[in-house]
């Protein structure tokens, strides 16, 4: 009887070891993975095998659900007295992205500078593409809490901002916190989006002229 049980266990183990993919809730597991889970995964407890930050990796998820590891510098990590690890926000370096655009100089009610390859632009140089001798901006799309955009006027013409203009969508409107409201040639200003400054509960672009 013992021999029969041992033989059955041996066959079961050898059967699993000869099959390279295991699927849970799927009959066709991904051939590039040893384990393919079609559904959510819950890990109830994470245990650390050592103290400190040496050798720690990040786990990232690709679009197809594949888990991959990524290195992270120790200068970005902190460890508390209970050996819990957190990522320091101040350790992350933010890169500026500069873009040049040539809009028609007219009135922009809900201006969109974040199109195409410029969805993550942080510094925008504006040059006149066509139109008149003034670009008037009443509102700007693409705002989210804390987003910053510096605009530089390289047009040779005037760029004017209109505050809290009712023709723009509420969440795209602009608040001006300095006495100026326009950019002359080679001038610059910074816009910071805030979800707390407006009484109606929607966000606003807060503009500061330099």
Q: Mean pLDDT throughout 125-145?
A: 96
Q: Which residues, 6 or more positions from 76, have their beta carbon under 8 angstroms from its beta carbon?
A: 87, 88, 91, 92
Q: What is the pLDDT of residues 13-52, one digit of tens each?
A: 444 444 567 878 888 888 878 888 888 888 887 777 777 7
Closest CA to 171 of 207, 204, 194: 204
* Helix, strand, coil percentages for the chain (3-state, nearest 5): 15, 35, 50
Closest CA to 206 of 157, 155, 145, 154: 145
pTM (2 d.p.): 0.57
What does the radius of gyration of the chain's CA atoms come to, in whole angstroms?
A: 28
Alpha-carbon distance 9 to 63, whole Å? 38
């Amino acid at each position: 009887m013992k021999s029969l049980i041992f033989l059955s266990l041996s066959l079961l183990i050898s059967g699993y070891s000869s099959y390279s993919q295991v699927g849970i809730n799927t009959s066709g597991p991904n051939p590039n993975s040893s384990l393919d889970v079609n559904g959510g995964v819950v890990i109830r407890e994470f245990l650390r095998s050592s103290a400190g930050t040496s050798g720690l990796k990040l786990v990232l998820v690709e679009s197809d659900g594949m888990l991959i590891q990524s290195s992270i510098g120790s200068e970005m990590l902190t460890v508390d007295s209970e050996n819990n690890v957190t990522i320091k926000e101040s350790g992350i370096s933010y890169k500026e992205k500069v873009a040049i655009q040539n809009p028609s100089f007219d009135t922009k009610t809900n201006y969109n500078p974040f199109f195409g390859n410029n969805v993550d632009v942080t510094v925008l140089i504006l040059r006149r593409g066509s139109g008149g001798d003034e670009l008037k901006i009443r509102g700007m799309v693409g705002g989210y809490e804390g987003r910053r955009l510096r605009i530089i006027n390289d047009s040779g013409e005037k760029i004017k901002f209109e505050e809290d203009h009712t023709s723009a969508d509420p969440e795209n409107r602009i608040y001006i916190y300095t006495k100026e409201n326009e950019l002359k040639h080679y001038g610059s200003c910074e816009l910071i989006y805030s979800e707390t400054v407006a009484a109606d509960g929607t966000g606003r672009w807060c503009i500061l002229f330099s």
